[in-house]
Structures are given as C-alpha cells and as structure tokens.
Amino acid sequence: MGGKFISFEGPEGGGKSTHAAALAETLRAEGKTVLVTREPGGTRLAELIRGLVREELDDPPVTRAEVLLFLAARAQVVANVIKPALARGEWVLCDRFSDSTFAYQGYGRGIDVQLLKELNDFATEGLVPDLTILLDVPPEVSRERIAERQRATSTSADRIEAAGEAFHKRLREGFLALAKAEPERFAVIDSSGDPAEVDRMIREAVRGS
C-alpha cells in the first residue's frame, strides 16, 4: 500500500518539528519508509529561499514577492522531493505546506485567499495533503516557546516572527478557519499541553485518516 502525505501546520512554536520527528519515528518502527521535509526548504534552492524570506534585509520582500518566493520554494520541493517520494510509495511528513501561505500571507498579510489558492495550485500541480495536523497554540504559548528557543540558541526573532501581535492573532484564527472549512482533511490538536499526549493524539489522527 502507498504512503500518505501529511503536513504539520500552525503558529510558530506549536511543535511541528518536534512532533513530526516523533511521528516519523513511530511510523519507521512500524516498518514504513518515511521522508521528513520542511517548508520553505527541503531542496538546495528552496533552502536558499528560506534564508531570503526570513532574513532582515535592507530591501525586504514586498508582500507579493513574499508570496511568490514561498510558492517558488514549494514548487521545487513538490516536484523534486515530495512527488517522487510518494510515487515510490513512501510516507511524506512536511513541516508546513500550502496552509501556511493561506494563513500567513492570506489571513496575516491580507492577500485574497482564493487568489492564493489558485497560485498555489499552479505551484503544487494540485497536490494536497491526505492529512493536515494543525498544532494549535495560543499566542502567549507561541511567544514563550520562541523566546525560550532564542535564549537557548542566542538568536533573535526572524522577520516573520517579529511581525506584531495582531498579525499572529489573525494567522492563528486563519488556521482555525481553514480547518473548519475542510474538517475531513484537518486534525486540530491542542499543542499547549504535555508533548507525550500531543504525540498520542497525532498517532490517533493518523490511524483514523
């Protein structure tokens, strides 16, 4: 049987990387071949774009350019990494995918979500995850986890993390609205609690998908 394509979404610090790695371990222990990738990123070109969109530049991308940069990175990882892995029958876990564009550039930055969906379809050749795990955390938990990571790694907020409180509130609401519109694809999981319990809920969502 072929593998599934599962995306992890949600506000910053929701635990996407942590819980995607844990799910990969579980699936591998069951004998499945699992590819874990991230967005933007996952190929050399897409990783270069990741650096560009997160950096504080003298010439930061205007919103339309930001959209196109994320979509260029997505087109690259879909064509060269995700689709080939799915064609080989592997499971693919992706840390962020299309819903991040709808939430951040749509609900967050105010670009029309329908237009974004059309542009995104072009970039992904219509590829949609079989299951999207939305790791939901309130803004205060998100802020605290980002601050903790910055303290631990002696780094500062990137350009998008540094966007204001109202932006982060809008994008969380955006993710929840996207999930409400497609309940059959999304599993919304409260990620503010015990990590082991979050992992258990994720495994349950995957089994039920």
Binding site for ligand T5A (CB under 6 A): 12-18, 39-40, 70, 95-96, 100-101, 104-105, 145-146, 148-149, 160-161, 191, 195, 198
Q: Which is nearer to ligand T5A, 129 or 161 (CB)?
A: 161
Decide if 182 contacts 127 (C-beta within 8 A).
Answer: no
Q: Which is nearer to ligand T5A, 3 or 109 (CB)?
A: 109
Decide if 14 contacts 137 (C-beta within 8 A).
Answer: yes
Q: Which is nearer to ligand T5A, 13 or 129 (CB)?
A: 13
**CB-based burial label for 144 (10 Å; 0-12, 13-18, 19+):** middle
Q: Which is nearer to ligand T5A, 74 or 91 (CB)?
A: 74
Shortest Cβ 18–ligand T5A spacing (Å): 3
- Residue whose token pair is 């990969």: 24
172 three-state secondary structure: helix
Shortest Cβ 168–ligand T5A spacing (Å): 10
Shortest Cβ 19–ligand T5A spacing (Å): 6
Single-letter amino acid, residue 75: A
Shortest Cβ 40–ligand T5A spacing (Å): 5
Percentages (nearest 5) of helix, strand, coil residues in the chain: 55, 10, 30
